[in-house]
Amino acid sequence: MRRAIWTGITTAVVMAAAAVPARAAQTIGSDLVRPPLSQATSFSSVTQITAPAGAPFPLQASASGVLTSVRIKYGPTGASPGAYQLRILSGTNPFTFARPAVPLGSTPRQFPPNQVAGVEEVVFVDAAGARTGRRILAGERLGLLYFAAASGPSGFSPILAGSAFGAEYGTILGNHVSGSQAYNVEANVELLMQGTVEPDADGDLYGDESQDSCSSGFGAADVHVGPCPSPPQPAAAVPPGAGADDAAPLVTFSGRAVQRLKRGAVVVEVQTNEPARLDGKGEVATPRLAKRPAKLSAAVGKRAIYPLQRASADADALSSVRLRLKLTKKALTAAKAALKGGQRSTARIHITATDSASNKREATRTIRLTK
């Protein structure tokens, strides 16, 4: 299987309240069983309107989540085969363009030349190289824009199957990138394209099953590659009069690992295994912007660091305490500018827990900031 990777900086998206995340990964589209025999019309937008009789997978996502991969089955290709760009459509014919599955300005992906047959797999990665996904809502389906690179046998790249009884294939000439359009219907034809939709409970565009296993707690929110860190194990509360206390409090974090800037503050929830004084400080890190950049996304040098206002509170044993660290005006302005320019902003919160015997423990929590 050939794998194509599209790279882009992923901005966390908070799903609308009406969009309910999927409970488990779901396959949508073709079962990729039939042989590809014909190709789509050059420079046409295509999708599958109705699945073949007895198809095992639905064409539309049953619940909202993220599209984590797409597979396209192709037949024998020529020396200069066609290319494609992925689309996500909503509604039923006529279809409405919802969003591109890759940036609209990206280069079309070409099928491999001179191949007998195969399956093209498309995955998505973020700026750090970690696998990520593309937003898809309940009721939406896959589509693509197809280009023929050359005429005749050299440009041949079949992705359509015939004799798919009960199926309806939709196609229109041109690039459908806005509004609604009615697609022409071809009966008993199947577009050999399949996708995987995973739940995304925290709305950060990382699939909960394969990409976001460390989604909360103990500073693991940004771990998308490799094993999750082990959480600290809370000990029992220290009873009064149990002798000399030389053990520092254990600190455990909870709460949202992705937070919106409009709050003007970063909030952490902290729990300790014994009564303790909590002192919080932190900083916001953003790409250092050029003095007069042509675009907001132009970044130079190292990341700029802006301190947060401090916060303190007293915590009872095994009780959750919320600390709210406000962003300074400079920090808020810099973070907004970075996010507007497609850059990433994070906040690191440092908590010092001190018990009645002056034993101290420090712990750090990383928060991803969004618009």
**Same domain membership, residue 192 and residue 258:** no
CA 151 to chain CA centroid, nearest Å: 37
- Of the two residues 360 and 21, the one the predictor is more confident about is 360
**Same domain membership, residue 267 and residue 186:** no
- 207 found inside a domain: no
> How many CA within 13 A on the CB side of residue 325?
27
pLDDT band at 38 (very low <50, low <70, confident <90, very high): very high
Domain termination residue (choose one: 182, 198, 214): 198
- 204 found inside a domain: no
**Same domain membership, residue 51 and residue 122:** yes
**Same domain membership, residue 184 and residue 256:** no
Residue 29 clears pLDDT 70, i.e. is over it: yes
> How many CA within 13 A on the CB side of residue 305?
6
- Of the two residues 329 and 239, the one the predictor is more confident about is 329
Residue 239: predicted pLDDT: 60
Query: Which tens digit of pLDDT belongs to each residue from 80-121?
Result: 898 999 999 999 999 999 999 886 667 788 899 999 889 999
**Same domain membership, residue 283 and residue 183:** no
pLDDT band at 262 (very low <50, low <70, confident <90, very high): confident
**Same domain membership, residue 27 and residue 122:** yes
305 is in which domain, residue-wise?
A: 251-370
Query: Which tens digit of pLDDT belongs to each residue from 143-176?
Result: 999 988 777 777 788 999 999 999 999 999 999 9
Euclidean distance between CA atoms 251 and 233, whole angstroms: 9
Give the residue from 2, 3, 4, 1 showing the smallest Cα distance to 107.
4
Residue 11: predicted pLDDT: 37
CATH number at residue 293: 2.60.40.1400
Residue 93: predicted pLDDT: 95
- 208 found inside a domain: no
pLDDT band at 136 (very low <50, low <70, confident <90, very high): very high
**Same domain membership, residue 119 and residue 15:** yes
Cβ proximity of 272 and 315 under 8 Å: yes
- 58 found inside a domain: yes
pLDDT band at 294 (very low <50, low <70, confident <90, very high): very low
- 140 found inside a domain: yes
Bridge partners of residue 71, in order along the sequence: 121, 194
Query: Which tens digit of pLDDT belongs to each residue from 182-198?
Result: 999 999 999 999 999 99
- 166 found inside a domain: yes
- 243 found inside a domain: no
Report the number of distinct structural domains present in the chain.
Answer: 2
**Same domain membership, residue 260 and residue 137:** no
**Same domain membership, residue 155 and residue 11:** yes
pLDDT band at 213 (very low <50, low <70, confident <90, very high): low
**Same domain membership, residue 105 and residue 175:** yes
